[in-house]
């Protein structure tokens, strides 16, 4: 069953204004969405002004910044009031077979997030559209071993978004303690329900209000 508690109400467009952030937070409050997912520059504004749970993105959208840069971003976001962090892995390191680098980076951010207070969560974006099946399976185990809370399909800024097959794969190969977040291209309630049935426990979408009203949209995220 699709409920508002599944939804990270998302606005990550670079041109987002404070007026739009206000609207996003007001909608999240009204509909009781799990979080608002916004760019780091808006975290303090939203956290100070609203009681809604704030999620932000780190190393977004390409994942190619250094581990130290991601750590600094994460520290700042947590200090500003973020309660959930969605980080992007270094996909090039995956393609190089350097899974040790990827796991070490996730481990450092997981420790930072979890040490910052109770009920703080780390989600790991692996950008499934750029990976083969073996890489996806390997990353499921790495994300779990590194201590993250969620594995997440997509940034919404690459070549594809969430698919039912990917959600099924991530749920099958991830440890039980790791939840699955679907994101990218979730535009109607029927698809959202299918993703939940396939194993997703969180949905990243800018169409949260429309989903609650069962109105299809054309948003890419």
Q: Whole-angstrom Cα distance, residue 60 to residue 76?
A: 15
152 labelled catalytic = yes
Residue 193 near residue 2, CB atoms below 8 Å = yes
N-terminal to C-terminal alpha carbon distance within the chain: 21
Tokens encoding 36: 């608002």
Q: DSSP state, 83?
A: S
Q: Which helix or strand (DSSP H or E) is residue 48 part of?
A: helix 43-49
Catalytic residue among 32, 181, 193, 213: 181
120 labelled catalytic = no
Residues 6+ apart with CB under 8 A from 78: 85, 112, 113, 116, 120
Catalytic residue among 95, 152, 193, 213: 152
Residues involved in catalysis? 152, 181
């Amino acid at each position: 069953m699709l409920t508002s508690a599944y939804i990270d109400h998302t606005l990550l467009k670079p041109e987002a204004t404070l007026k739009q952030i206000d609207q996003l937070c007001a909608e999240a409050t009204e509909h009781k969405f799990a979080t608002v997912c916004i760019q780091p520059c808006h975290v303090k504004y939203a956290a100070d002004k609203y009681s809604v749970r704030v999620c932000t993105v780190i190393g977004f959208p390409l994942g190619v910044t250094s581990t130290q840069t991601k750590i600094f971003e994460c520290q700042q976001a947590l200090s500003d009031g973020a309660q959930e962090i969605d980080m992007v892995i270094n996909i090039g390191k995956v393609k190089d077979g350097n899974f040790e680098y990827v796991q070490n980076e996730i481990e450092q951010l997981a420790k930072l997030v979890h040490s910052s207070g109770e009920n703080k969560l780390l989600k790991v974006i692996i950008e499934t559209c750029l990976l083969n099946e073996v890489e996806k399976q390997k990353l499921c185990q790495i994300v779990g071993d590194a201590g993250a809370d969620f594995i997440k399909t997509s940034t919404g800024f690459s070549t594809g978004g969430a698919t039912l097959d990917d959600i099924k794969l991530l749920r099958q190969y991830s440890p039980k303690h790791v939840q699955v977040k679907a994101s990218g291209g979730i535009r109607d309630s029927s698809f959202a329900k299918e993703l939940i049935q396939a194993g997703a426990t969180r949905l990243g979408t800018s169409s949260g209000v429309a989903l609650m009203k069962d109105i299809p949209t054309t948003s890419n995220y």
